[in-house]
Structure 1
């Protein structure tokens, strides 16, 4: 399974996701780090992603080429991440046929009804369980 982790700004969320994916799935998956900037991409690569690319074109080109996309809910919202996530990036992610696992952080003024406010590590655990179910419970 090829998984794209999308993050921006400092890359801390992407780093945490990549680390957890690598611990849980090892080399069973290929992780593509897609950063809105080079810093975010570099941090995800350092955390265990197989490949990485930065910027709008990298996300637009690669979003349709992966099996699953994971990141904060802002990756489907134009101009989120303090404007780093462009409308074209959000469109590419939203229109990708890949499954999407979105972490409901309310930093982008998007609030999801029915979701409790939890610390980031709890949301990442839930995301890992979703991915595990997509992979057939391995």
Structure 2
């Protein structure tokens, strides 16, 4: 199984996700760091990714070649992450047949109704739990 962790800007969220997935998933699970920029990719690689790729073309190319996509929900919004998420990137992610496990974090003015405010570590706990469920089934 191949899981893509997608993040941008400084890669901090992707770093935390990657670290937890690497510690809690079996070694045969391949983790791919897909960064909107080189810094985000580098940070995720140092946190345990098997490999990484950067930029619009890399993200579009890999979106339909992975079994699962994880990251903040903003990866689905064109122009999110201070403009780093291009419309083509968002479209590739949304159109990928891979299931998506997304953190309800956004600074793009989108409000997700029904979600209670939780600290990032709690949200990552939930994300990892859901990924483990999907990997085991």
- For the aligned pair, the TM-score class normalised by the smaller chain equals over 0.9
Counterpart in the other structure of 1:60: 60
Structure 1, gaps ≥5 residues long: none
- 1:115 maps onto 2:110 in alignment: no
CA–CA distance in structure 2, aligned partners of residues 69 and 19 of structure 1: 15
Report the CA distance between 1:106 and its aligned residue.
3.0
Report the CA distance between 1:50 and its aligned residue.
0.3
CA–CA distance in structure 1, aligned partners of residues 92 and 48 of structure 2: 24
- 1:25 maps onto 2:25 in alignment: yes
Q: Secondary structure at the match of 2:128?
A: helix
Q: Deviation digits for residues 67-101 of structure 1, max 9, x if unmatched?
A: 00000000000000000000000000000000000
Report the CA distance between 1:112 and its aligned residue.
1.3
CA–CA distance in structure 1, aligned partners of residues 20 and 36 of structure 2: 21
CA–CA distance in structure 2, aligned partners of residues 61 and 23 of structure 1: 27
Structure 1 outlier segments of 4+, above 4 Å: none
Contact 1:15/1:47 (<8 A) preserved = yes
Give the TM-score, by structure 2 length: 0.97
- CA RMSD in angstroms, aligned pairs only: 1.0
Paired residues, number: 137
Structure 2, gaps ≥5 residues long: none
Give the TM-score, by structure 1 length: 0.96
Q: Deviation digits for residues 30-86 of structure 1, max 9, x if unmatched?
A: 000000000000000011000000000000000000000000000000000000000
Bigger helix share: 1
CA–CA distance in structure 1, aligned partners of residues 63 and 22 of structure 2: 20
